[in-house]
Amino acid sequence: MTWKSMRLVSMKIAQSLLYAPSAFYFYPWKPFMNAVVGDTYRVAYKHFRRDHSDSANMLMHFICLFLQLLGNFGFLNALNGSLMRSIPRLHMKHFETELIPLLTALLWIAYLLIAASDAPPIAVVLSIVCIGASWYAAPLLEAWALDIGSLILFLITIPIGALLFKNKVLKRRKSIREVAENTCNGVLKCALLLAAVGPYAVGFQGRDPVLVEHKMSGNIVLVCLITLCSTLPNPVVPVTIMGCFGSRVLYALTGQEVLRFFACGFTGMVLQGTAHGISQQQATLLNLEEEEADRKLRFEWAHCTFFPCVMWQSVYDSIVGAQTLAKGYVQPPDEAGPSKTQTG
């Protein structure tokens, strides 16, 4: 195998490790992967701020943030419980459903304190509060309530955000007609999601006895399909669709609660895309698809790893009118040359 081939394989593996488990979910390997193949907080914030300066867009992203944080820890709790039950040696009475989520939360907080030192302290503190609150609250929530509640809240924020805030792209408040069109667009997309979520939330009995007995085989097929989507040159849309709907279909057939929480991460990505469409600010991950492969992978890892903190800083900068990192970003030597994401 040539050096070029080995490099391509390693990049595909890194890309899959980001997208296949849901890009905005945090896992213990994320800080280490971002340190090796990702980028700095400054770079992550520059890209985030460019695509998330509209107030209505940010308001809708808050729904996505809490859906993904709670879904993240709900998934880790369910996964931890499954591992403890299936591997007796791992069973520890006091940590039966808390060990993996707890360690993940502590690692996440530690990484933000170390690697996001350029962020305003208030952004780091608020990120830590959100992580801690989500770790505490996730075991108390049902997956269906998180799913449907998030969709309803998201729909409510569409007209509120459009009516309250001036659109950054249009440089004016939207008309009633535009607000109605945006709301209808959001309703349509959320209706598609509810079509997948709703029947199972109210007790739809679609269990297949054969699949329930061989659910591990179904899980392996789902993982393979999501992983395959995650290796595509531009994986954002394919992996989101497969993760969002594939996980729910398999849940409907096998009844594995862990899949419902896993799907929440991809639902959040669908809602993020909807928010960007309504605000007319291009989604960062889609913007980054125009980058060269090396830069694209670095920027994607940084964007998804620092997500809570860059979002809080964007809110902070909008309130106080400061954009220090966004405007004062110093281009590293290896990034010289024109680039749409650097100059856009």
| Residues 30-70: tens digit of each pLDDT | 999 999 999 999 999 988 988 888 888 888 899 999 999 99
Per-residue confidence (pLDDT) for residue 328, from 0 to 100: 46
What is the H or E stretch that residue 127 is in?
helix 121-137
Count of other CB atoms within 10 angstroms of residue 319? 9
Residues 312, 112 contacting (CB under 8 angstroms): no
Read off the pTM. 0.83
Joined tokens for residue 146 = 């998180």
Lookup: tokens for 254? 């096998």
Q: Phi, psi (5° rounding) for residue 97?
A: -125, 15
Which of 301, 258, 275 has its CA nearest to residue 58? 275
Contacts of 195 (CB under 8 A, 6+ apart): none
Calculate the dihedral angle through the C-alpha atoms of 287, 320, 306, 5, rounding to the nearest 10 degrees: 30
What is the gyration radius of the CA atoms in the chain, in angstroms? 20
Cα of 274 vs its chain's centroid, Å: 13
What tokens appear for 4 in the block? 């070029």
Phi, psi of 167 (to 5 degrees): -75, 130
User: Which structure tokens are listed for 56?
Assistant: 């209505």
DSSP letters for 279-300: HT---HHHHGGGS-HHHHHHHH
pLDDT of residue 229: 94
pLDDT of residue 86: 64
Residues in the chain with pLDDT < 50? 94-95, 201-203, 205, 328-344
Residue 247 is encoded by which pair of tokens?
A: 């996980």
Q: What single DSSP character describes residue 243? A: I
In terms of Cβ atoms closer than 10 Å to its own Cβ (0-12, 13-18, 19+), residue 286 is: middle
